Amino acid sequence: MNFNYSMPTKIISGKDCIRNNSAVFSKFGKKALIVTGRKSAVLNGSKADVLFALEEEGMECVVFNKVMSNPTIACTYEGAKVARESNVDFIIAIGGGSPIDAAKGIAILAVQEVNEEDLFSGQYKEEVLPIVAVPTTAGTGSEVTQYSILTNDKLETKTSIATPLIFPKVAFLDPKYMLELSITNTINTTVDALSHAVEGMLSVRANLISDALALTSISMIMNALNKLVEAKEMDKLSLLDLSLRETLLEASTLAGMVIAQTGTTVVHAMGYSLTYFKGIDHGRANGLLLGTYLTFVKKEKPDLVGRILKEMQLESISEFEECMSSLFGAKEEITEEEIKLYSKKAITTKNIPNSQVAPNEEELREMFMSVFSL
Ligand code: NAP
Ligand code: FE
């Protein structure tokens, strides 16, 4: 098999890993821009740990805490302005995928002039600010990917900046930050990670190493799903303890390492419209669509789907769909007109030719219809 493999992010994992490794920050300069969402980094203790480590090293920082979920292009430019004005040496991104993705855009825009029209061109100068990532959800894997996914109002979808320049230099994985992440957010983000691992195997760029990572991630997540269903049914967050959080975080990072090699496929392409137009959470959107796409792939590649189901310890795709519906409950309502629009948008994405089994626009429509029972 011909393939290349490279994953430049150093991973430091374990409870209290930031406080125990403060010297890591000092390698990147004297002053950091900390990029976070509005509240969670304060509530879950991650920001306090970073501030502690910076103080230990005698370093300064400025905070940009305005990143919303599904970050906008405008928010990224705003963060870059703060980075420039404060003359920071590097960026510490703390949060879910949204702050980490915004931080990646900021890392470019803080040191280069890039117009909005060229932001997704993939053509940048070599110079970007180094990024240290602290994930506080276990889903996107953004701490180990070269993607920054931003809400693009001009194209009415989400668009990625993809360049190896924005791989975080270091990712700190501490599961304790996730202990208070709500059951719904935990389910959504876990299924995003599962979708990355599965889609990675369905990508034209799947290779020996990405498949090995994906299979391990799939197995870890599927073994944890029963606990998530139980926590949801009993409405008991304490069931999701530190050891389970650690498993989910590690599995999510493995799945991030998968998509760093393979990219995502049809499921993410379809899901972006559900998020953009209907406000459906990113991971939930993937979870609603994954079963249908597996059914579509199975017609041409039954062995590939069989391999995935085997790792999931499931007999059939319907069993997988039952599992998703016990996590997600009733689906949103969507009209035929909306589906037409979403299919038209999905067919133009790079994810379609990146899929081993690529649908046409009509087939995308049929998949949407079957998910939303139209
Ligand atoms: P998110 O949008 O980053 O965060 C969702 C919510 O969870 C926010 O309200 C956030 O609050 C809260 N939160 C975060 N960590 C928490 C914690 N430890 N405890 C309690 N609440 C917490 O969600 P996400 O699913 O992680 O990221 C989704 C984004 O990532 C999407 O834009 C998606 O497109 C992108 N994505 C990127 C990649 C990639 O490779 N780059 C891959 C897949 C998806 P605050 O706002 O207060 O922080
Ligand atoms: Fe995703």
Cross-strand partners of 157: 152
Predicted confidence band of residue 305 (pLDDT cuts 50, 70, 90): very high
Q: pLDDT value at position 115?
A: 96
Question: 117 CB contacts (<8 Å, ≥6 apart)?
Answer: none
* pLDDT band for position 69 (cuts 50, 70, 90): very high
Element (H, E) at 170: strand 170-173
Residue 187's closest CA among 327, 339, 370?
327
Share of the chain above pLDDT 70, in %: 100
Side chain identity, residue 20: N
Give Cβ neighbours of residue 115 (< 8 Å, ≥ 6 apart): none
- Tokens for 112, please give them: 């280069």
Backbone angles phi, psi at 31, to 5 degrees: -135, 130
b/e per residue 19-31 (b: at least 16 CB within 10 A): eeebebbeebebb
Q: Quote the tokens at residue 64.
A: 């940009």
CA-nearest residue, atom 43 of ligand 1: 140
Which atom of ligand 1 lies nearest, measured to the CA of 99? 3
Give tens-digit pLDDT for 157-194.
989 999 999 999 999 999 999 999 999 999 999 999 99
- Widest Cα–Cα separation across the chain: 60
What's the CA gap between 272 and 163, in Å, rounded? 20
- Inter-axis angle of helices 282-300 and 183-202, to 10 degrees? 30
Give 37's contacts (C-beta < 8 A, 6+ positions apart). Answer: 65, 67, 68, 69, 95, 96, 98, 99
Section 298-321 average pLDDT: 98
- Residue 272 Cβ contacting ligand 1 at under 6 Å: no
Tell me the average pLDDT of the chain.
Answer: 97
The string of pLDDT tens digits covering residues 324-353 is 999 999 999 999 999 999 999 999 999 999
Q: Atom 42, ligand 1: which residue's CA is nearest?
A: 140
pLDDT at 1: 83
CA of 69 to the centre of ligand 1 (A): 6
Is the CB of 262 within 6 Å of ligand 1? no
Torsion of CA 242, 247, 248, 251, to 10 degrees: 160
Nearest residue by C-alpha to atom 30 in ligand 1: 97
Q: Which amino acid is at 236?
A: K
Instruction: Look at residues 56, 16, 42, 146 and name the one whose alpha carbon lies nearest to residue 95.
Output: 42
Between β-strands 31-37 and 157-162, what pairing exists: parallel, antiparallel or unpaired?
A: unpaired
Using only the alpha carbons of the chain, give its radius of gyration: 20
pTM over 0.95? The answer is yes
- Which pLDDT value is given to residue 52? 98
What is the per-residue pLDDT across 251-269, written as a single tens digit (0 to 9) for each?
A: 999 999 999 999 999 999 9
Q: What are phi and psi of 10, to 5 degrees?
A: -80, 130
State which ligand 1 atom lies nearest to the alpha carbon of 67.
Answer: 46
CA distance 347 to 342: 9
Please give the distance, rounded to the nearest whole angstrom, from the Cα atom of residue 171 to the centre of ligand 1: 16
Residue 227: which pLDDT band, with cuts at 50, 70 and 90? Answer: very high
What's the CA-to-centroid distance between 87 and ligand 2, angstroms? 32
pLDDT in tens, 75-100: 999 999 999 999 999 999 999 999 99
CB 143 within 8 A of CB 173: yes
